[in-house]
């Protein structure tokens, strides 16, 4: 079993134990997170929905991301990643959500965002977290690493829930 499938199974086990659901909004990963989740038999019990919004217009239309936010911050930004995650969480009525937006390459680099820059946002209930990753490798490697990081982040959020009561998630709360 490859690492992504192992992570998806671990996520499914945790969400099943929590009786919680997840929703996914993806841009640069192009459905990779949702595909990993649906590899797991029985994922329909904990996976609500996914939305791949590659264009800014669809981020606005399908996820409710503010067009002004896209103009001011750009599609590859912390604010847009969080808005994407919150948008899919709200539309799917899921407890957890994750969103990816980034530059997988080989083109598209910006002065402050090289190829491999990926913002990932995670939402649990009404708390949002976001982190910038700088992955290395070709397009496929960047996308693969982003899928893994997205899944690892949700697993970390699950693990931080009570009974331990401590939030030990690596990311910036927004």
Give residue 173's pLDDT.
54
Q: How far apart are CA 20 and CA 120, in angstroms?
A: 20
Q: Which residues pair with 120 in a beta bridge?
A: 100, 131
Whether residue 75 contacts residue 56, with contact meaning beta carbons closer than 8 Å, is answered with yes
Whole-angstrom distance, CA of residue 142 vs CA of residue 48: 25
pLDDT, position 1: 85
Domains along the chain with CATH numbers: 3-173 (3.90.950.20)
**CA–CA separation, 172 and 107 (whole Å):** 28
Handedness of CA 89, 117, 76, 144 (dihedral sign): negative
pLDDT at 168 (0 to 100): 45
Average pLDDT over residues 144-171: 79
The structure's pTM equals 0.92
For the segment 109-132, the average pLDDT, to the nearest whole number, is: 96
| Number of Cβ within a 10 Å radius of residue 36 | 26
- pLDDT, tens digit, 9 for 90 and up, residues 87-101: 999 999 999 999 999
pLDDT digits (tens, 9 = 90+) for 25-47: 999 999 999 999 999 999 999 99
For residue 152, is pLDDT > 70? yes
Q: What is the CB neighbour count within 10 angstroms for residue 136?
A: 10
């Amino acid at each position: 079993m490859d690492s992504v499938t192992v992570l998806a199974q671990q996520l499914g086990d945790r969400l099943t134990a929590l009786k919680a659901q997840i929703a996914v909004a993806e841009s640069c990963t192009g459905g990779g997170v949702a595909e990993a989740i649906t590899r797991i038999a029985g994922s329909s019990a904990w996976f609500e929905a996914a939305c791949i919004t590659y264009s800014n217009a669809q981020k606005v239309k399908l996820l409710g991301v503010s067009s002004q936010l896209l103009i001011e911050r750009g599609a590859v930004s912390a604010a847009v990643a969080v808005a994407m995650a919150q948008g899919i969480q709200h539309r799917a009525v899921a407890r957890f959500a994750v969103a990816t937006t980034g530059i997988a390459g080989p083109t598209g680099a910006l002065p402050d965002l090289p190829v491999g820059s990926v913002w990932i946002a995670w939402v649990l209930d009404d708390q949002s977290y976001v982190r910038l990753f700088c992955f290395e490798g070709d397009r496929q490697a960047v996308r693969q690493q982003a899928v893994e990081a997205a899944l690892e982040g949700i697993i970390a959020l699950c693990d931080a829930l009570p009974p331990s009561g401590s939030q030990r998630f690596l990311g910036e709360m927004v």
